[in-house]
């Protein structure tokens, strides 16, 4: 698990290779990742947007941007947390991801850019 803290917002990510859904012979490797966002700041925040950079050893950089996460724009009170699962496919069995969230302080409308820490995507073809 990797973690980053930006202005009191803690983002932790844990990735797993999904061997049963992958087909290495067809250059298809499936990874899932669980993200947990914890609000250790004194203000209420809302996650508005996301931007992911996905690096695949077999190809170029892919950027994915959009509103919220998995169809939600969660609001986190001080001390609150939000977790979700998502996934990606790589052509190779090795890559990495990193990104950022745009969050809003609901009290004053100030936007925060929150770091999503870089994490490795490595296929484990023998375990799992």
Superfamily covering domain 2-121: ApaG domain (2.60.40.1470)
pLDDT at residue 128 is higher than 50: no
What number of CA atoms fall less than 13 Å from residue 15's CA on the CB side? Answer: 23
Average pLDDT over residues 120-126: 84
| 8 A C-beta contact, residue 1 and residue 43 | no
Model confidence band, residue 124 (pLDDT cutoffs 50, 70, 90): confident
Q: Please tell me the predicted confidence (pLDDT) of residue 125.
A: 64
Helix (H, G, I), strand (E, B) or coil at 20: helix
Q: What is the pLDDT of residues 22-65, one digit of tens each?
A: 999 999 999 999 999 999 999 999 999 999 999 999 888 999 99
Q: What is the mean pLDDT of the chain?
A: 95
């Amino acid at each position: 698990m990797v973690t980053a803290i930006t202005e009191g917002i803690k983002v932790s990510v844990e990735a797993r290779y999904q061997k049963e859904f992958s087909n290495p012979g067809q250059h298809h490797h499936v990874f899932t990742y669980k993200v947990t966002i914890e609000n250790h700041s004194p203000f209420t925040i809302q996650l508005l947007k996301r931007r992911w950079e996905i690096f695949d050893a077999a190809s170029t950089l892919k950027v994915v941007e959009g509103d919220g996460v998995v169809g939600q724009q969660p609001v986190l009170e001080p001390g609150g947390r939000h977790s979700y699962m998502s996934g990606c496919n790589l052509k190779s069995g090795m890559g990495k991801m990193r990104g950022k969230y745009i969050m809003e302080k609901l009290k004053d409308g100030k936007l925060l850019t929150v770091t999503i820490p870089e994490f490795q995507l490595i296929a484990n073809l023998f375990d799992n």
